[in-house]
Amino acid sequence: MAFILTFAQQLPGYAQKDSLTTILNSEIHDTTRAKVLDAIAQSYLNSNPDTAIIYYQRAITVSQTYLGKIDEKSHERTIKNIASHAFSIGIAHASLGNYNKAIDQFGISLEMGEKMGDLSGVSKSLNGLGIIYGRKGIYHKAIENYLASLRIFEELALDDPEDKAAKAGIAKSFNNLGVAYMNQQDLDKSLEYFLKSLEKFRELGNKNGISTILNNIGIIYNTQKKYEQAIEFHLQSLAMNKEMNNQQGIAQTLMNLGNVYDDLGESQKAIEYYFKSLKINEKIGLRRGIAKNLNNLSISYYNQGDLEEALAYALRGLETSIEISLSIEVKKAYDLLNKIYAGQHDFEQAHQYLKLYSQVKDSLFNEEKSKEIGKLEATYEFEKAEAERVRLEIEELKLENEQTSRRNNLQYSGILIFLVLLGAGLIVLGKLRISIRLAEGLIFFTFLLFFEFTLVLLDPYIEQYSSGAPAIKLAFNALLAAMIFPLHSFFEEGLKKRMMKKSATKEISASQ
């Protein structure tokens, strides 16, 4: 069974390679040169990965030459670009089946992303590592990286609901998890992840992603022997890939259609699709696809009873699969060779390949790895639930703080208005016939309220500065009282003089 898994989208804007090459050969600044090299590399990424690697490496070299000549902001941006180039080189090596080199490049990208605090870059690198481990059949490491990547993308999407890159990352992580479970024959869980991914890609209008998921869902239906639905989904994917001129996607979909017709017993039709797919994969140098095509051709010829042709393609498939460390196809080739040699009554050779098949099968998946995957899933679900709990607590705390702040502002406003009214009342006290003792009491009460109100306003700042030390808080309070006391005395003395003067005036008037 085959599947499609693309890292990058087609880039029609970079199709004009001649004009880009012309710009590259002219006198341009190094920063522009690096961008042009990147553009050319991206235009080759799906069609000619070997050439893409050369241009990406040139872009890295150019970027490194001017790192020490630019400001800090530009330096950070350039480091991120270099990390992105390394990631793209990893993609190219993955397409070529150079999995160990791909792991090295994704590791470089991951390390640089972590140093720069570039969460998006880190999550992409984790996804890339997961894909490679999945292709090597190390599923527990694949799922570990997928889940780590998914957590980061989900956090980024929570922080910024409009972040399309984060949403696309979530969709790709769902797809990759679906592929991992599909390879373990957990079809229900695989389909669940594929449908989640399809929903996300459709929201984004991402045709490349949609075509990928349609293809993968077709594989699920084929495995479930729902052949009509499988062909329908594969044809939809094929049409979209042709529209985008995605040669890798076209080759993969043709191979998947061959799988369906092979399972239907139409071996000759399957062979036609496999040869079409093989031709494209050989043209673009996609060795992973070549290995799968060779093994699938061997299966079809075996089903037709042509053991000589089946043997020739199985041996070629095994050789290519071993060269690129594609464990899944190595296992398939061993199984094929066991059956072919048994069919030729060469039971010694058949037994040797049966033993090799059993060894690879056991290394790819066992009960311990199954338990480890279960633990990874449980950890992911726990961390996701914990992150959601913390997010809700923060939102509740934020809402509570807003309500408290609103309540305090209303009360502060009310107290301030009351103090202003009291102050206005004190000003007109001199015009009223009240005792001086009562006036002194009102003045003292007003300034006492003002002192307490000021303490309440300044308390958070005093607390922060004093760190709660009683002696320092007392010193602040004393300083505030010392500042208010002269004002109180001045106001009280002035009011008393006014009241006494007015009283004396009235007495003189009365005596006359």
Average pLDDT over residues 1-23: 46
**Are 291 and 314 in contact, with CB atoms under 8 Å apart?**
no
pLDDT of residue 371: 47
pLDDT (average), residues 429-458: 69
- CB count in 10 Å sphere of residue 355: 12
C-beta separation of 289 from 248 below 8 A = yes
Q: What is the pLDDT of residue 63?
A: 83
Q: What is the mean pLDDT of residues 481-498?
A: 70
Provide the Cα torsion 305, 308, 310, 316; round to 10°. Answer: 180
Distance, in Å, from the CA atom of 234 to the CA atom of 2, rounded to the nearest integer, reads 12
Q: How far apart are CA 469 and CA 434, in angstroms?
A: 44
**What is the structure's pLDDT at 30?**
64
- Residue 89: name the closest of 137, 37, 135 by CA: 37
Q: Which of 87-91, 447-451, 472-476 has the highest mean pLDDT?
A: 87-91
Q: pLDDT tens across 32-48, in order?
A: 778 888 888 888 887 78
Nearest to 116 by CA among 82, 67, 90, 88: 82
pLDDT at res. 193: 93
pLDDT reported for residue 403: 72
Mean pLDDT over each residue of the chain, to the nearest integer: 79
Evaluate if residue 172 carries a pLDDT over 60.
yes
Identify the CATH homologous superfamily for domain 286-365: Tetratricopeptide repeat domain (1.25.40.10)
pLDDT of residue 186: 87
Task: For domain 118-203, give its CATH number from 3.30.950.10, 2.160.10.10, 1.25.40.10, 3.40.50.2000.
Answer: 1.25.40.10
C-alpha atoms less than 13 angstroms from C-alpha of 149 in its C-beta half-sphere: 33
CA separation for the pair 194, 482 (Å, rounded): 73
Residue 243 to residue 234: CA distance in whole angstroms: 14
What pLDDT does 446 receive? 73
Q: What pLDDT does 72 receive?
A: 65
Across the range 69-85, mean pLDDT stands at 78
Which of these, 313, 282, 308, lies nearest to 298 by C-alpha position? 313
Q: Provide the token pair at 265.
A: 């017993």
Q: Which long-range contacts (CB under 8 A, 24 or more apart) does 449-458 make?
A: 449/415, 449/418, 449/419, 449/422, 450/419, 450/484, 451/480, 451/481, 451/484, 453/415, 453/416, 453/419, 454/480, 454/484, 455/480, 457/412
Q: Do domains 206-285 and 286-365 have the same CATH topology?
A: yes
Residue 319's pLDDT band, with cuts at 50, 70 and 90, is: very high
CA distance 455 to 474: 11
Q: Which helix (H) or strand (E) holds 66?
A: none
For the stretch 264-275, pLDDT in tens is 999 999 999 999
CATH classification of 206-285, choosing from 1.25.40.10, 3.30.420.40, 3.40.50.720, 1.10.274.10? 1.25.40.10
Q: Is the pLDDT reported for residue 430 higher than 90?
A: no
Residue 409 has pLDDT above 70, yes or no: no
Share of the chain above pLDDT 90, in %: 34
Contact 287/99 with Cβ under 8 angstroms?
no
Q: Where are the domains of the chain?
A: 14-107, 118-203, 206-285, 286-365, 418-511
The mean per-residue pLDDT over the stretch 49-72 comes to 80
pLDDT at 244 over 80: yes
Class of domain 14-107 (CATH, top level): mainly alpha
- pLDDT digit string, tens, across residues 106-131: 999 999 999 888 888 898 899 899 98
Q: What percent of the chain shows pLDDT beyond 70?
A: 72
